[in-house]
Amino acid sequence: MKNNLPLVSVIIPTRNSGDTIEACLKSIKAQSYENIEIIVVDNNSTDKTKAVAGKYTKQILNKGPERSAQRNLGAFKSKGGYLLFIDSDMELSKKVVEDCVNKLKTENLKHKIGGIIIPEESFGEGFWAKCKILERSFYFGVDWIEAPRFFSKAVFNQFKGYDEKQTGTEDYDLPQRIKTKLGQDSILRIKGLIYHNEGRLRLGYTLKKKFYYVKTAGAYVSKKSNKDYFKKQSDILERYKLFFSHPIKLFRNPALGFGMLFMKTSEFLAGGVGYFKKK
């Protein structure tokens, strides 16, 4: 324990993440909080991912078939009392880990904390990345979209981690199970940001991603704790209501506003096709 600070395990699932993983790892190394272990759980990458990761950590594991299983393995192998799960295309602002630890330690004295939300801000290149940046800007503080990434290991183990039958929806499933048992106020948030690198986003890529992720939506919807959330998350009118509640922001740049609405509508359609095809 460095300077009596509890150990935080940062767990990163990867697959052919060679273009983004170094920036992610550098942001972890640059944290104001000193006692951190980094665990990379790769899924048979064929690029330079493992070589780059090896410059920053000796803890590089291999696991498939999907992100949920990778995260759970990282948690199982971790030594920290706290767990932070981020993706390889994310970068942490300097005080994220410190703020999470302080928030959890302080608030746990009042009641049991299930997890901590770290708000996300996107960046990237090109028109569709700018549309995604605009979209994500509407989600700050929206509890049916934001999901916690920071947990005490005790709570994570109590709820048996991520559901490995799910891909994409597991981010929501775990905290919603936690809230069902510990209460809505068991999920907190900090002000520090995660920066999400969208890269040069292509419309076809994001539609393909939505089509793929809904293949495991059945396992998500089947749980009682998720049904009310799913009604909002899968309702395009709820999303429109959220966007149009801030019309000035939505249409400050009309091209981006209409582009974002087109992209989001297309994603819902791709998800719907994937869901009913699976059924």
**DSSP-derived pairing of the beta strands 36-42 and 60-62:** parallel
Q: Pick the residue with more confidence: 92 or 213?
A: 92
Residue 221, pLDDT score? 85
pLDDT confidence of residue 241: 97
* pLDDT score recorded for residue 276: 67
Confidence (pLDDT) at 215: 78
Measured in whole angstroms, how far is the alpha carbon of residue 270 from the centre of its chain?
21
pLDDT at site 216: 78
Q: What is the pLDDT of residues 235-279, one digit of tens each?
A: 999 999 999 999 999 999 999 999 999 999 999 999 887 766 666
Residue 223 has pLDDT above 90, yes or no: no
Instruction: Give the CA-trace dihedral at 136, 141, 142, 147, to 10 degrees.
Output: 80
Interatomic CA distance for residues 33 and 2, integer angstroms: 10
Q: Which pLDDT value is given to residue 213?
A: 79
Residue by residue, DSSP assigns 116-172 as: EE--EEEEEESHHHHHHHHHHTT-TT-TTT----EEEHHHHHHTTSS-TT-SSTHHH
Q: How many CA atoms lie within 13 A of 8 on its CB side?
A: 26
User: Which strands, in side-by-side order, build the sheet including 187-189?
Assistant: 60-62, 36-42, 8-14, 82-85, 150-152, 115-117, 187-189
Question: How many structural domains compose the chain?
Answer: 1
- State the pLDDT at residue 214: 80
Q: Quote the DSSP letter at residue 41.
A: E
pLDDT digits (tens, 9 = 90+) for 110-138: 678 999 999 999 999 999 999 999 999 99
Q: Are 227 and 47 in contact (CB under 8 A)?
A: no
- CA-nearest of 36, 66, 62, 67 to 49 is 62
Q: Apex CA 215: angle with CA 181 and CA 271, to 5°?
A: 100
Which tops the pLDDT comparison, 73 or 108? 73
**Is the predicted pLDDT of residue 90 greater than 80, yes or no?**
yes
User: Which CATH number characterizes residue 144's domain?
Assistant: 3.90.550.10
Full residue range of the structural domain in which residue 75 is found: 2-278
pLDDT surpassing 60 at residue 1: no
What pLDDT, on the 0 to 100 scale, is given for residue 211? 84
